[in-house]
Amino acid sequence: MKHTISVIVENKPGVLHRVSGLFSRRGFNIESLAVGTTENPNISRMTIVVEGDEIVLEQITKQLYKLIDTLKIFDLPEQKLIERELALIKVHANDKTRQEITQIVDIFKAKIVDVAEDSLTIEISAEKDKVDNVQKLLEKFGIQELVRTGKIALQRGGI
């Protein structure tokens, strides 16, 4: 089972190493990890998607709390999640395919952010499944380059 956890850490050098090192040495699987600063510049938020049952999740949480730089951990419940992933997809395009690609972009409320003679670069920010879908639909045109951020998430409503 997949869990999305939010790990609030002190924004100190080496903190990403401490967290990622903990996952690798304890044999926990990270599906994605996104990190950035928060409203407080001294604090960072890591959004980590992990695979495991309740027991594994409990161990992950407890081990993360043992890191001195960890301030708070939230296991974000699926139904109360606002989640986004950002992708930039550079797809092969010519006169024949350009229109079809533009249609896909419109349907998914994505954006074309760069146009070249033989390619289009598409930006999409959406839930992971939707990004997966767009990527799949674009594959047949030939994806030249692709980058995804990994999921970031917050819980809905007041804190």
Partner 1 sequence: MELSGAQALIESLKKEGVEYIFGYPGGKVLGIYDVLYHEKAIKHILTRHEQGAAHAADGYARVTGKVGVILATSGPGATNLTTGIANAYMDSTPIVAFTGQVSTDQIGRDSFQEADVTGITQPITKHNYLVKQAEDIPRVVKEAFHIASTGRPGPVVVDIAVDAMKKKINFKYPDKVSLPGYKPTTKGHPRQIKAAAKMIGLAKKPVIYAGGGVVLSGASKELKEFAEKLRIPVTTTMMGLGAFPEDNDLALHMLGMHGTAYANYAVQESDLLICVGARFDDRVTGHLPTFAPKAKHIHIDIDPAEIGKNVRIDVPIVGDAKQTLKDLLEKVKPEKDKHNAWLKQIEEWKKKYPLKYKDDHELRPQYIVELIDELTEGKAVICTEVGQNQMWAAQFYTYNEPRMWVSSGGLGTMGYGFPASIGAQFGAPDKMVFDIAGDGSIQMNIQELTTAVNHKLPIKIVVLNNNYLGMVRQWQELLFERRYASTDLHNNPDLVKVAEAFGAAAFRVTKKSEAKKVLQQAMKIKDRPVLVDCRIVEEENVFPFVPPGQAINEMLID
**CA quadruple 1, 83, 30, 38: dihedral, nearest 10:** -140
Rounded Cα distance between 47 and 34, Å, is: 5
Terminal Cα distance for the chain, rounded: 26
Which of 75, 82, 74, 83 is closest to 151 using CA atoms?
Answer: 83
Nearest to 80 by CA among 3, 1, 157, 8: 157
Please list the residues that pair with 6 across neighbouring strands: 47, 74
**Distance of closest approach, residue 61 Cβ to partner 1, in angstroms:** 9
Rule CB under 8 A: say whether 59 interacts with partner 1. yes
Strand partners, 29: 51
- Note whether 90 and 148 are within 8 A (CB): no
5 touches partner 1 (CB under 8 A): no
Return the range that interacts with partner 1 (CB under 8 A); candidates 59-67, 100-108, 112-120, 129-137. 59-67
3-state SS assignment for residue 4: strand
139 contributes a contact to partner 1 by CB under 8 A:
no
* x/- track of binding to partner 1 for residues 14-43 (CB under 8 A): x--xx--x---x------------------
- Report the nearest approach of partner 1 to the CB of residue 55 (Å): 7
If one asks whether residue 69 binds partner 1 (CB under 8 A), the answer comes out as yes
From the list 63-71, 85-93, 132-140, 149-157, the region that binds partner 1 by CB under 8 A is: 63-71
Cβ nearer to partner 1, comparing 75 with 83: 75
Q: Which amino acid is at 5?
A: I
Q: Which stretch binds partner 1 (CB under 8 A): 10-18, 76-84, 116-124, 131-139?
A: 10-18
Q: Which residues would be at the binding site for partner 1 (CB under 8 A)? A: 9-10, 13-14, 17-18, 21, 25, 55, 58-59, 62-63, 65-71
